[in-house]
């Protein structure tokens, strides 16, 4: 049997807020999850627990899911946990009566503050048995901690954390509390696994039995929920809708909503213009310029009283409105008067008004993250719009691209220096595509995006890297590979001319399933002297004494200095090769690529040959770096090309 109906129930604890799910019970599940690496087993463990919580009621489920994904609010609200080491050490000291110096030392030995908290708790003798901690209290306190600011914020946070620690009745509660507060549970429970577990629990709950349940049903429920969350990223409402309408009905109640970010659709790589016709098999397509700026999803709503709200989201669902107040201010210029609500997909590009030309991505990167007054803007931007996802109360993503484009052009007008439609041509001949590609480069773009125009395959697929959107960059055509976005995790001291600066850096890709940064290459090429100085100054701010436990780095490539996973660099390389000393995409990471004939290698990872620094990617967080699965795919693709 695929799934057996979970049995038993959760013994709720009595609290002043009524019966609650004990945090201890959730931590027992976390322990079991941590003890295995098998994805199906992890999903089943979490599914069974969520099913039992689901029976206890919606509030319990909402809180438990948030603690499982280790978030206090939806991403776009920008409220993050992630408490510094020193505050956590202080809190552990306060709660357990141990000396901070001892705790620091133990941290050096164990490399995991969670384990230190666990050990401290085990050895602690207490006079009173604390009242059990509930999942809801943990979440509420996390929220309070994340939102505490002001002069004595650190002190208040330390107080709140130590109260939580003091209330732990088991040492594993202390371990997971501390890890959660660091921002990472590190049990191999990716958010996508929690989503699968939630979908499956909801399906079982709805059916009431496991009779006749097929693997396809589980998969369908999972896909369904993932799609819903990529358009409506608020667990609280989605869970409420699951109770009300069932897992199959949730999609029609949690639809695209202006002011909630949609996970963007992404493109696959196409290496040659000749292959495009073959790929599209006679289906009409359009070629658009691929602008080199920052993805900007513009949301707008006007209510009946005339109140307006405009939000600009980044590619990662961050609220970028404070960075682009000029875009928000020009909405009424480019939207026709009949438009009352919309979601536009655009690329914001640095723009030179005098010459009427696009400026480079580097220029855009120098724009400040927050502008208080529009007069402070030093780098002007123009938005090139390529899709319309929502208009006047209606989601459009299921419509063919051709129709969405018509609506875009009917309801929005170009405004000089501010808003334009993406330059596009509906071409059919390879020579014309090639020529348009050349022209895009002359016009300071990266190449072309080629998109299916008609039929179901041209719908907008939130969060998917789809074959219905292909990217054709000049570099691929010239035989250079695509670039990778990698995280800087270490540095090596320089020699000769580079004494005083770092001579090379250690880069890593990210494996979201294992929540691990895997070393991929050492890089020392592509930097100017001023680059080297600037990088050193910036990176030194995130220097750490020892590697994070979630860094996969072999002894042979150990750097002299370690960094927090903070900076992402775009890097190009001659090619990718197998390596016994780098870990990228090793062994089991391949489960993500089940379609591959052979796993890459159980012991070797993939490494980059002759990597070269291109630029800093300030618009990406470390977790947005190229994933292990993408590295594996690039490696495999190159094998088929050769």
CB of 425 to ligand ATP, least distance (A): 12
Rule CB under 6 A: say whether 402 interacts with ligand ATP.
no
> Which of the residues 290, 451, 464, 548 is marked catalytic?
290
CA 242 to CA 419: how far, in whole Å? 40
CB of 322 to ligand ATP, least distance (A): 20
CB of 405 to ligand ATP, least distance (A): 11
- Burial of residue 578 (number of CB atoms within 10 Å: 0-12, 13-18, 19+): middle
Question: 528: how many CB neighbours lie within 10 A of its CB?
Answer: 9
CA 528 to CA 359: how far, in whole Å? 21
Q: Which is nearer to ligand ATP, 135 or 508 (CB)?
A: 508
CA 501 to CA 563: how far, in whole Å? 15
Q: Which is nearer to ligand ATP, 205 or 386 (CB)?
A: 386
Q: Which is nearer to ligand ATP, 297 or 330 (CB)?
A: 297
Copy the structure tokens of residue 457. Answer: 């395959």
Q: Which is nearer to ligand ATP, 102 or 295 (CB)?
A: 295
With CB under 6 A as the contact rule, the residue among 137, 263, 290, 604 that binds ligand ATP is: 290
Rule CB under 6 A: say whether 571 interacts with ligand ATP.
no
Per-residue contact flags (x/-) with ligand ATP for residues 237 to 276, judged by CB under 6 A: ---------------------------x-xx---------
CA 624 to CA 509: how far, in whole Å? 9
CB of 554 to ligand ATP, least distance (A): 28
- Cite the DSSP H helix spans in 167-234: 171-182, 191-207, 215-231
CB of 576 to ligand ATP, least distance (A): 17
CB of 165 to ligand ATP, least distance (A): 40
Pairing of strands 381-391, 419-421: parallel
Please state whether 628 falls in left (phi above 0), alpha (psi between -120 and 50) or beta.
Answer: alpha
Rule CB under 6 A: say whether 347 interacts with ligand ATP.
yes
Which of the ranges 226-234, 287-295, 453-461, 597-605 carries the binding residues for ligand ATP, by CB under 6 A? 287-295
Q: Which is nearer to ligand ATP, 239 or 267 (CB)?
A: 267
Copy the structure tokens of residue 328. Answer: 């928000």
Maximum alpha-carbon separation in the chain: 82
Question: 478: how many CB neighbours lie within 10 A of its CB?
Answer: 7
CB of 366 to ligand ATP, least distance (A): 18
Tell me if residue 16 is catalytic: no
Cβ-contact 582, 557 below 8 angstroms: yes
Rule CB under 6 A: say whether 137 interacts with ligand ATP.
no
Per-residue contact flags (x/-) with ligand ATP for residues 464 to 503, judged by CB under 6 A: -------x--------------------------------
CA 606 to CA 536: how far, in whole Å? 27
CA 257 to CA 231: how far, in whole Å? 8
- Closest by CA to 633, choosing from 580, 583, 576, is 576
CA 103 to CA 109: how far, in whole Å? 10
CB of 290 to ligand ATP, least distance (A): 4
Cβ-contact 204, 51 below 8 angstroms: yes
Copy the structure tokens of residue 370. Answer: 């927050």
Rule CB under 6 A: say whether 359 interacts with ligand ATP.
no
Which of the ranges 282-290, 550-558, 592-600, 603-611 carries the binding residues for ligand ATP, by CB under 6 A? 282-290
- Closest by CA to 463, choosing from 259, 228, 194, is 228
Residues making up the chain, counted from first to last? 642
CB of 449 to ligand ATP, least distance (A): 4
With CB under 6 A as the contact rule, the residue among 102, 156, 295, 572 that binds ligand ATP is: 295
Which of the ranges 28-36, 284-292, 517-525, 539-547 carries the binding residues for ligand ATP, by CB under 6 A? 284-292
Site for ligand ATP in 403-432 (CB under 6 A): 422
Half-sphere exposure of 422 (CA within 13 A, CB side): 32
Q: Which is nearer to ligand ATP, 206 or 318 (CB)?
A: 318
Residue 494, φ and ψ in degrees, nearest 5: -85, 160
Rule CB under 6 A: say whether 386 interacts with ligand ATP.
yes
- Closest by CA to 181, choosing from 132, 146, 135, 130, is 146
Which of the ranges 112-120, 270-278, 289-297, 409-417 carries the binding residues for ligand ATP, by CB under 6 A? 289-297
Site for ligand ATP in 298-317 (CB under 6 A): 315
Q: Which is nearer to ligand ATP, 222 or 314 (CB)?
A: 314
Count interface residues toward ligand ATP (CB under 6 A): 14
Residues 6+ apart with CB under 8 A from 594: none
Q: Which is nearer to ligand ATP, 295 or 403 (CB)?
A: 295
The binding site for ligand ATP (CB under 6 A) comprises 264, 266-267, 288-291, 295, 315, 347, 386, 422, 449, 471
- Catalytic residue IDs: 290
């Amino acid at each position: 049997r695929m799934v057996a109906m979970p049995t038993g129930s959760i013994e709720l604890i009595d609290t002043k807020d009524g019966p609650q799910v004990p945090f201890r019970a959730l931590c027992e599940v976390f322990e079991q999850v941590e003890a295995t690496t098998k994805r199906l087993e992890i999903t089943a463990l979490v599914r069974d627990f969520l099913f039992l919580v689901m029976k206890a009621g919606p509030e319990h489920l909402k809180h438990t899911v948030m603690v499982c994904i280790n978030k206090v609010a939806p991403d776009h609200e920008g409220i993050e946990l992630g408490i510094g080491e020193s505050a956590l050490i202080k809190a552990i000291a306060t709660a357990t009566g141990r000396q901070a110096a001892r705790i620091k030392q133990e941290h050096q030995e164990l490399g995991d503050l969670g384990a230190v908290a666990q050990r401290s708790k085990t050895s602690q003798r207490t006079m009173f048995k604390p009242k059990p901690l509930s999942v809801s209290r943990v979440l509420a306190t996390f929220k309070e901690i994340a939102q505490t600011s002001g002069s004595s914020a650190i002190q208040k946070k330390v107080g709140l954390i130590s109260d939580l620690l003091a209330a732990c009745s088991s040492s594993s509660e202390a371990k997971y509390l501390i890890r959660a507060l660091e921002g990472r549970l590190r049990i191999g429970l990716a958010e996508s696994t929690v989503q699968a577990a939630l979908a499956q629990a909801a399906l079982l709950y709805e059916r009431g039995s496991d009779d006749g349940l097929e693997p396809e049903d589980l998969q369908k429920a999972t896909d369904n929920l993932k799609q819903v969350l990529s358009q409506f990223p608020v667990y609280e409402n989605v869970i409420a809708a699951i109770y009300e309408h069932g897992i199959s009905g949730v999609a029609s109640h949690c639809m695209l909503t202006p002011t909630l970010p949609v996970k963007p659709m992404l493109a696959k790589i196409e290496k040659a213009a000749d292959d495009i016709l073959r790929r599209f098999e006679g289906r009409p397509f359009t070629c658009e310029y691929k602008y080199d700026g920052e993805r900007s999803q513009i949301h707008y709503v006007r209510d009946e009283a005339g109140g307006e709200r405009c939000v600009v989201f980044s590619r990662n669902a961050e609220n970028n409105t404070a960075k682009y107040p000029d875009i928000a201010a020009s909405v009424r210029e480019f939207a026709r008067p009949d438009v009352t609500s919309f979601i536009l997909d655009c690329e914001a590009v640095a723009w030179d008004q005098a010459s009427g030309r696009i400026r480079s991505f580097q220029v855009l990167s120098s724009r400040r993250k927050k502008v208080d007054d529009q007069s402070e803007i030093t780098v002007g931007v123009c938005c090139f719009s390529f899709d319309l996802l929502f208009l006047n109360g209606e989601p459009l993503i299921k419509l063919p691209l051709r129709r969405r484009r018509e609506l875009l052009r009917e309801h929005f007008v170009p405004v000089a220096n501010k808003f334009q439609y993406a330059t596009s041509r509906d071409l059919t001949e390879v020579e014309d595509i090639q020529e348009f590609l050349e022209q895009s480069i002359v016009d300071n773009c990266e190449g072309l995006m080629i998109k299916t125009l008609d039929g179901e395959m041209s719908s907008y697929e939130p969060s998917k890297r789809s074959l219905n959107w292909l990217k054709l960059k000049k570099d691929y055509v010239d035989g250079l590979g695509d670039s990778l976005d990698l995280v800087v995790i270490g540095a090596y001291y320089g020699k000769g001319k580079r004494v005083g600066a770092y001579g090379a850096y250690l880069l890593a890709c990210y494996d979201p399933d294992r929540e691990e940064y895997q070393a991929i290459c050492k890089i020392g090429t592509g930097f100017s002297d001023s680059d080297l100085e600037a990088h050193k100054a910036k990176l030194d701010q995130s220097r750490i004494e020892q590697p994070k436990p979630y860094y996969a780095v072999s002894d042979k490539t150990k750097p002299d200095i370690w960094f927090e996973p903070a900076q992402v660099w775009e890097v190009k390389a001659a090619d990718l090769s197998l390596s016994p000393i780098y870990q990228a995409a090793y062994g089991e990471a391949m489960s993500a690529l089940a379609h591959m004939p052979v796993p890459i290698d159980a012991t070797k990872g993939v490494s980059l040959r002759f990597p070269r620094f291109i630029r800093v990617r300030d618009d990406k967080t470390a977790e947005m770096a190229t994933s292990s699965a993408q590295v594996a795919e690039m490696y495999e693709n190159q094998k088929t090309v050769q």
